[in-house]
């Protein structure tokens, strides 16, 4: 990416800007046509379309007044809340690029995102301000921190104070559809996160995918449950903004199935996406105390779901379309959907490729495999990312042969339905979170007591999978426990990435080429009843 530049055609931007197909224009359209209609509800606070437009414009003006220009990156370290959307929309209005931060990250991980993205501004909130400060101290590049909810630090800017400033000096800036709208960091097998550059065009393709498959109507109410720092969370607003329906933002924290159901009943929710672990809890709570719900579309993804959970969803909500959504961050994210009409007879399938996507199932030489055979699914389409931020080699590798390589191994049945056989090497999905073994292994290798380390996944009833560390100790070290690693892991890894079990071995099994033989480790330590030292 080149250095940030200001757009050259501010003076003549309005005729072009008003025709652009992105969520800023959609919000402005609804603000003009239905200004007093509620757009977003968070807890007891309602925000109309007019207010959403005005507040995002005010934030854009405040950013620009402080030197933020077209192409600049802004870290977003916030919990789910209305201000998250305002800040994203405000940044996009001037062509700046929000970079969502997983709030479970350690300060070292936040510092890497700040350094890699080149961000100088972070938007955070009172509860997370210490995390922002730690990241700023580590990198030395973050020089502006904006805090939602106020801060005791004189070095922080107050979000509400900025939004209250006069926005009349904000120029109309043309932001083309191929402009990067978000940089979403996703861990890679090299152990370092990669920033997927998603454009406004990508997000509009996502909106069309969702709208074309859901049972929708003008009275729809969408419940937004996933973290907004995840692609499933933030991209979930693309169809909301396009259609102009009301969205209910659910706060992050310990998931309470009864509270979730009570909220959906009270707000009249018609569509909701959750991960399988959440659906399992919601189904049990609804069966124990049924609520009068308006659900027309229920969907799941981000982690594997057992047949038991899927059957519980079908039984508990028989009148709702049960959609399976499959994809990845680099595809904005949905590539395949199992429609509600096929949910029972094709249970376990990820469905068919969505209309916006072109896909092939290929062998390692990029030859198409025969139906029923296993191959890697590769993609093209308008929802495919622009590439990885400042990482041309990773981009070239991902696009080898002119197609995006998903890393997912699938097979296709005689009706065209796809089934995942395996997935990207060494990736663990735990409660909807992607954990790449190489990243965890890199951290483990940095501990002086560890000479060798390998991480594998182990099935878990609650989270689907959890990471397990298999280590060989350094000379002179006799024992090691997870408790002894605790402080070190907390400083360097988000909690959800930390190993939930530890196995100490004399040496890791390796093949003739010196590579660790992970199937051997899976066989020995990957089951629930394997001997683990905690």
Q: Residue 12 pLDDT > 60, yes or no?
A: no
Pairwise CA distance, residues 71 & 176, whole Å: 12
Pairwise CA distance, residues 71 & 189, whole Å: 28
pLDDT of residue 511: 57
SS3 content of the chain, % helix, strand, coil (to 5): 35, 25, 40
pLDDT band at 514 (very low <50, low <70, confident <90, very high): low
CB 414 within 8 A of CB 402: no
Residues 56-67: tens digit of each pLDDT: 999 999 999 999
Q: Which of 318-332, 338-352, 391-405, 425-439 has the lowest mean pLDDT?
A: 425-439
pLDDT of residue 354: 95
Structural domains in the chain, sorted by start: 10-31+45-176 (3.40.50.980), 199-422 (3.40.50.12780), 427-525 (3.30.300.30)
Residues 226-247: tens digit of each pLDDT: 999 999 999 999 999 999 999 9
Q: Residue 7 pLDDT > 70, yes or no?
A: no
What six digits make up the tokens of 145? 């921190």
Residues 269-316: tens digit of each pLDDT: 999 999 888 998 999 999 999 999 999 999 998 776 767 788 899 999
Long-range contacts of 426-429 (CB under 8 A, 24+ apart): 426/189, 426/455, 426/518, 427/189, 428/455, 428/457, 428/465, 428/466, 428/467, 429/302, 429/303, 429/304, 429/464, 429/465
Pairwise CA distance, residues 183 & 169, whole Å: 27
Q: Residue 188 pLDDT > 60, yes or no?
A: no
Q: Residue 192 pLDDT > 70, yes or no?
A: yes
**What does the chain come to in residues?**
534
What six digits make up the tokens of 40? 């977003």
HEC sequence for 69-107:
CCCCEEEEECCCCHHHHHHHHHHHHCCCEEEECCCCCCH
Residues 56-101: tens digit of each pLDDT: 999 999 999 999 999 999 999 999 999 999 999 999 999 999 999 9
pLDDT of residue 187: 62
Pairwise CA distance, residues 531 & 534, whole Å: 10
Threshold 0.75, pTM exceeds? yes
Cα dihedral 201, 202, 205, 206 sign: negative
What is the phi-psi region of residue 43: left when phi exceeds 0, alpha when psi lies from -120 to 50, beta otherwise?
Answer: left
pLDDT of residue 325: 92
Please give the torsion angle defined by the CA atoms of residues 232, 454, 399 and 184, in that order, rounded to the nearest 10 degrees.
30
pLDDT of residue 4: 47
Pairwise CA distance, residues 293 & 262, whole Å: 9
pLDDT band at 431 (very low <50, low <70, confident <90, very high): confident
Residues 134-184: tens digit of each pLDDT: 777 776 678 899 999 988 888 899 999 999 999 999 999 999 999 999 999
Average pLDDT, the chain: 89
Give the range with max mean pLDDT: 123-127, 217-221, 277-281: 123-127
Reference 490, options 24, 190, 106; nearest CA is: 106
Pairwise CA distance, residues 350 & 257, whole Å: 25
Pairwise CA distance, residues 88 & 81, whole Å: 12
Contacts of 277 (CB under 8 A, 6+ apart): 303, 431, 432, 462, 463, 464
pLDDT band at 461 (very low <50, low <70, confident <90, very high): confident
Higher-confidence residue: 215 or 236?
Answer: 236
pLDDT of residue 11: 46
Residues 341-387: tens digit of each pLDDT: 888 888 889 999 999 999 999 998 999 999 999 889 999 999 999 99
Pairwise CA distance, residues 98 & 121, whole Å: 10
């Amino acid at each position: 990416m080149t250095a940030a530049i200001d757009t050259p055609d501010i003076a003549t931007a309005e005729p072009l800007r008003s025709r652009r197909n992105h969520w800023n224009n959609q919000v402005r359209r609804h603000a003009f046509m239905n200004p007093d209609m509620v757009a977003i509800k968070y807890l007891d606070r309602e925000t109309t379309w007019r207010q959403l437009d005005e507040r995002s414009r005010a934030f854009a003006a405040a950013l620009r007044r402080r030197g933020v220009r077209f192409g600049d990156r802004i870290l977003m370290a916030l919990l789910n809340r209305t201000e998250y959307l305002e800040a994203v929309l405000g940044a996009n209005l001037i062509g700046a690029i929000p970079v969502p931060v997983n709030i479970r990250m350690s300060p070292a991980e936040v510092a890497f995102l700040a350094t890699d993205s080149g961000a100088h501004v972070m938007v955070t909130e009172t509860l997370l301000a210490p995390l922002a400060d730690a990241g700023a101290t580590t990198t030395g590049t973050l020089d502006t921190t904006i805090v939602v909810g106020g801060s005791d630090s004189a070095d922080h800017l107050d979000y509400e104070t900025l939004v209250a400033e006069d926005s009349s000096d904000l120029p109309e800036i043309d932001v083309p559809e191929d402009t990067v709208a978000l940089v979403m960091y996703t861990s890679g097998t090299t152990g370092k996160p990669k920033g997927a550059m998603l454009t406004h065009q990508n997000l509009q393709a996502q909106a069309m995918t969702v709208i074309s498959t859901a049972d929708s109507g003008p009275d729809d109410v969408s419940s937004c449950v996933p973290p907004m720092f995840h692609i499933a969370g933030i991209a979930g607003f693309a169809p909301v903004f396009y259609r102009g329906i009301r969205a209910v933002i659910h706060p992050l924290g310990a998931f309470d199935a009864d509270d979730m159901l009570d909220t959906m009943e009270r707000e009249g929710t018609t569509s909701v996406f959750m991960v399988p672990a959440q659906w399992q809890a919601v189904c049990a709570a609804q069966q124990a105390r049924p609520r009068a719900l308006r659900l027309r579309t229920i969907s799941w993804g981000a982690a594997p779901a057992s047949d038991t959970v899927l059957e519980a969803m079908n039984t508990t909500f028989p009148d709702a379309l049960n959609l399976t959504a499959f994809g990845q961050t680099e595809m904005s994210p949905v590539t395949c959907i199992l429609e509600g009409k096929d949910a029972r007879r094709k249970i376990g399938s990820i469905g068919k490729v969505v209309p916006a996507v072109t896909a092939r199932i290929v062998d390692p030489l990029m030859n198409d495999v025969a139906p029923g055979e296993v191959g890697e699914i590769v993609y093209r389409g308008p929802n495919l990312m622009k590439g990885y931020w400042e990482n041309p080699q990773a981009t070239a590798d991902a696009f080898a042969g002119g197609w995006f390589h998903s890393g997912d191994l699938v097979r296709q049945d005689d009706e065209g339905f796809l089934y995942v056989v395996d997935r990207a090497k060494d990736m663990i999905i735990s409660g909807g979170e992607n954990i790449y073994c190489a990243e965890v292994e890199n951290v483990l290798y940095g501990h002086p007591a560890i000479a060798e380390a390998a991480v594998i996944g182990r099935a878990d009833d609650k989270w689907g999978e959890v990471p397990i560390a298999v280590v060989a100790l350094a000379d002179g070290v006799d024992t090691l426990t997870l408790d002894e690693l605790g402080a070190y892991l907390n400083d360097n890894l988000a909690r959800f990435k930390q190993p939930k079990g530890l196995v100490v071995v004399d040496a890791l099994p390796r093949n003739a080429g010196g590579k660790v033989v992970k199937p051997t480790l899976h066989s020995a330590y990957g089951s629930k009843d394997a001997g683990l030292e905690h």
